[in-house]
A and B are shown apart, each in its own frame.
Chain A
Amino acid sequence: MATTDPFAGERLKESPFHPRQAPMNLRDAWSSWNGFKFADYYYDTVYEYFCIRNFCGTYDICPMQKYLVTGADALAMLDRMVTRDLGKLKTDRVTYCCWCTDEGRMIDDGTIFRLDEDRFMLTCGSPCIAWLRKSMIGFDDVAVRDVTEETAGLSLQGPTACTVLKTLGLDGIETLKPFGIQRFPFHGDTLMVSRTGFTGGLGYELWIPAPLALTLWDALYEAGGDYGIHPYGEAATNMARLEAGFIMPYMEFSEALKTVNYQHDQSPFELGLDWLVDFRKPHFNGRAALLAERERGPRYRLTKLDIEGNKVAEDAILYNNRRCSRQVGYITSAMWSPAAKANIALAMIETRYLEGDIWAEIYYPKELRPIRKMARCTVRDKPFWSGPGARQTPPPAT
């Protein structure tokens, strides 16, 4: 008689790539994402970070939510949900977007893939089926299906990524432009490749029916053997995305639908996502509130900071003077950037203090003793790092 696992209800699910990833997780450094067992790192965070910047690495995006939105009204429905104008999104193109509550507060961000005239894939960090169902109200011909578990996604990021895919036999992949989609026959099915990612460098995301996940993994690792391919986890992702200036849920923003305290969520304007909000389209969720916010100006602005010294400003509070008499904001993410060789951070800063001095109050440990340091911050406009030729087509050879 088969014994049942009494802890089955508490065990994490395994991604379709798990059988290959698990033996490579030498440190048993697991965390979780949407109920899936998920690597924090495999061998060494910095090693994996440098795979992204120097060779290429794979990041398991199976736990990311994927919804197939189909029907004659699919476009209209999504276009009303998100702040960006989807009318411009052509077939086989991908766009980054966000969606808001009626109050203009951000629920989540994600990407929308236009797979066909009336066929879309929406990907996002957290489950959002309830909000999608709410957004469908009033549209007759639209269906939403959660394809998270039937679709395996693997992100391949780094300067050798294109070469690896060419070696894999994806002819013409070098012609794929940023945010474009191409399809390739793969073991009797279709491998979909989008030139998308979360690292600020050259990168692709590979989409395959889950049963073919391991076949894809093996082929990819065979092709990538001479190009330094290596899996990377959450820790390295977080480093790369911060250098690129990308936002992370629960670091830069709290999802509006899950926030208890008033306005402890954020608006797209506060997050510097102005470019995602298109008031030229007639109506979308949160439009009126966002229009009003644009008029009066957002209270906070997510700001890129270059901080003097090399002590990481994690969780630091920001002031407009070094005596700390007036608080002007707080750090959301911070790290020492190996690629930019700078002490970088993203911070929420009250808009009216952006022009003045900004000081971070940093605490760092020195053999158990906490040391306090005031460090001057400089506002940066551009990403801290961007991959050389990352947006070029065809991409540079290595």
Chain B
Amino acid sequence: MKRYDAIVIGAGHNGLTNAAYLARAGLDVLVVEKNDYIGGAAVTREMHEGWYYSSCSYVCSMMRQAIHRDLDLSRHGLLLVPYLGTVAFGDNGETLIDYPDEEASYLELKRHSPHDADAMSRFQADLGRYAQLIRKTLLRTPPDPASFRPRDIGELLWLAREFWKLGEQELYEYIRFFTMSAADFLEDYFENDLVKAAMASPGIIGTALGVESPGSAYILLHHVMGDVDGNVGAWGLARGGMGAISHAIASALREAGGELRTEAGVERILVKDGATVGVVLENGDELYSDIVVSNLDAKRTFTRLLAPQDLPPRILERARNFKIRGSSGKVNIALSGMPRFTGLPDNPYINRGGQGFVGSLETMERAYDAWKRGTWSEDPFIESVIPSAWDPTVAPAGKHWMSNFIQYCPPELADGPWTPEKRDAFGQTVVNKIERYAPGFKDLIVHMEVRTPHEIENEIGLTQGNIFQGELTIDQLLFNRPFPGYGQYRMPLKNFWMCGSSTHPGGGVSSACGANAAREILRDLKKPNIVPDDDCYDE
């Protein structure tokens, strides 16, 4: 019977990246995917004739440029297009436009608060400083602080040196930043509530935390430290939708001789004498390999694919308690025309990019309160993008699709399980809110796909629909991700690895988790490293 060198479970972008590097290193690699399409949460699907939705993730800025370049994803068909013009909408109909031009943005801020217009540069500089350090860690394996191996000590020293370069004062600031709330952090800079709300909103995206919850300041950073072609904080769209990223990586994988099998869900990971030896598919097929790599989240991997008796009890407990709470929904809408937002000029550079229906800090916190009670707010935070205005391939000419990300949406409702009726009611809430800011919006709707954590979990397998494969709080970051002591992609079974967003550096379409895991696997196999260093060290 055929025996692979490696089987990677899950054809999400990290699994594909991991497999591509293993295949490039000469390994005989198979990726198995439960769906009949690849991409996991980096996926494009034609959900209505002529409309191609990025059903889950929808924008891109974390993608490691060094990986994109090294795997030659451009030649494999990937084009990342930055989009411009993000507008924050406040509770009372006021708008805050983020112009691509710095001077214009300054004047816009000044309209709301002269103080905040000035403070913005200090805010951006501070954020830039924090981001600079974190960015450098993305394509590195976190050091194990409890280990005395020279490599871990070396890596810890590197980290210490990078910290030290920030200056003494910044060390304190950094610790604060990692543990404080987005709202408190912003309090140091801004006075205007809409400015604060607009800046705070990245701090709650994908997270079961509120703007007032400790830890949300880091999430904010996580969302602004990416870049498009060196423009830190910029966001891009993949031409052809997010699935284009997965397809380009899959093409690189195939070119390197890797194999990809869809409709091949894994029922169970085979374990023999404390080592993984292969997988059993849902159809009963048994596939064998020297190593098994799971791109699924930590909770699903350890509680669904592995038998409890095969695991150390401590790990099982960690996996069961892994913080992976679902908190987000997604509503994809096909439109017969471009929505017109009240209060915005007819300026095509700014009225069809991103819309942040932030309301205010209070509104966002109330939405979080609703989530805690097991329901959704009638006034949720919505982050929208209109990709069809920036990509001619995702909707028919003159028509549009709008991606709407909703914070918050509970994984389970207080009044019982999700039903199609409740799902539609949730979708209606979103439409009602957008209609308030863009009268006539409802009349433009051609088709709608409403996705609650329930759909996200069932379709692509993210536990509770958590977009990050586990929350990005300090207890689950760096060497603590996914579990303390297991931050280096090796799992507590022999020949068993993880490569998904449950590992460092966490969620976001970055390819970093998959690439880092490949580097570690090749190291254990005593093969030369072929995973490139990040290209951000000159910053």
> Which A residues fall within an 8 A CB radius of B?
27, 43-44, 46-47, 50, 53-55, 159-160, 163, 225-228, 309-311, 336, 338-342, 364, 366, 371, 373, 385, 388, 398
Contact = CB atoms under 8 A, between A and B. Distances in A.
Contacts of B79: 53-54, 339
Nearest to A373: B538
A28 B255 CA distance: 47
15 contacts: A27-B101, A43-B100, A44-B349, A47-B100, A54-B79, A54-B390, A54-B392, A55-B392, A226-B398, A309-B535, A336-B229, A371-B538, A373-B538, A398-B392, A398-B393
Interface of B is mostly: loop
Given A54-B239, A226-B398, A373-B538, A310 B65 contact: yes
Contacts of B538: 309-311, 364, 371, 373
Interface string B215-228: 00000000000001
B535 A44 contact: no
Contacts of A43: 100, 349
Contacts of A342: 69, 74
Nearest to A53: B79
B232 to A, nearest CB: 12
B65 A341 contact: yes
Contact of A310 (B77, B230, B390, B393): B230
A398 B80 CA distance: 16
Interface of B: 65, 68-69, 73-74, 77, 79-82, 84, 100-101, 228-230, 239, 349, 390-393, 397-398, 535, 538-539
Given A43-B349, A336-B229, A341-B68, A50 B81 contact: yes
A226 B84 contact: no
Contact of B74 (A27, A336, A340): A340
Instruction: Return the 6 tightest CB-CB contacts between A and B, nearest first.
Output: A226-B398, A226-B397, A341-B69, A398-B392, A341-B68, A338-B229
A310 B229 CA distance: 9
Nearest to A160: B392
Most buried by B among A226, A310, A341, A366: A341
A182 to B, nearest CB: 23
A227 to B, nearest CB: 6
A388 B539 CA distance: 33
Contacts of B80: 338
A366 B537 CA distance: 12
B59 to A, nearest CB: 15
Given A46-B82, A46-B229, 7 more contacts: A44-B84, A44-B101, A54-B392, A226-B398, A228-B392, A336-B229, A388-B77
B393 A339 contact: no
A341 B82 contact: no
A179 to B, nearest CB: 25
B230 A336 contact: yes
Contacts of A336: 229-230
Given A47-B84, A339-B74, A310 B535 contact: yes
Nearest to B228: A338
A11 to B, nearest CB: 27
Contact of A159 (B73, B101, B392): B392
B397 A227 contact: yes
A339 B69 CA distance: 10
A54 B69 contact: no
A345 B26 CA distance: 32
Nearest to A158: B392
Nearest to A385: B74
B121 to A, nearest CB: 13
A271 B152 CA distance: 51
Contacts of A227: 392, 397
A362 to B, nearest CB: 10
A307 to B, nearest CB: 11
Contact of A341 (B73, B77, B239, B398): B73
Contacts of B535: 309-310
Contacts of B230: 310, 336
A46 B535 CA distance: 21
Contacts of B539: 366
Contacts of A163: 397
A54 B392 CA distance: 7
A373 to B, nearest CB: 7
B494 to A, nearest CB: 37
Contacts of B74: 339-342, 385
Nearest to A364: B538
Contacts of A160: 392
Nearest to B234: A46
Nearest to B125: A367
A176 B189 CA distance: 59
A368 B229 CA distance: 21
Nearest to B240: A398
Nearest to B399: A226
A190 B101 CA distance: 41
B103 to A, nearest CB: 10
A47 B539 CA distance: 24
A160 B68 CA distance: 25
Contacts of A311: 538
Nearest to A54: B81
A343 to B, nearest CB: 9
A55 B239 CA distance: 11
Nearest to A342: B69
A163 B393 CA distance: 13
A162 to B, nearest CB: 12
Contacts of A388: 77
Nearest to B63: A341
Contacts of A364: 538
Contacts of A228: 392
Contacts of B100: 43-44, 47
Contacts of A385: 74
B393 to A, nearest CB: 5
A309 B536 CA distance: 8
Contacts of A371: 538
A133 to B, nearest CB: 46
A47 to B, nearest CB: 6
B349 A54 contact: no
Nearest to B229: A338
Nearest to A386: B75
Nearest to A306: B69
B98 to A, nearest CB: 14
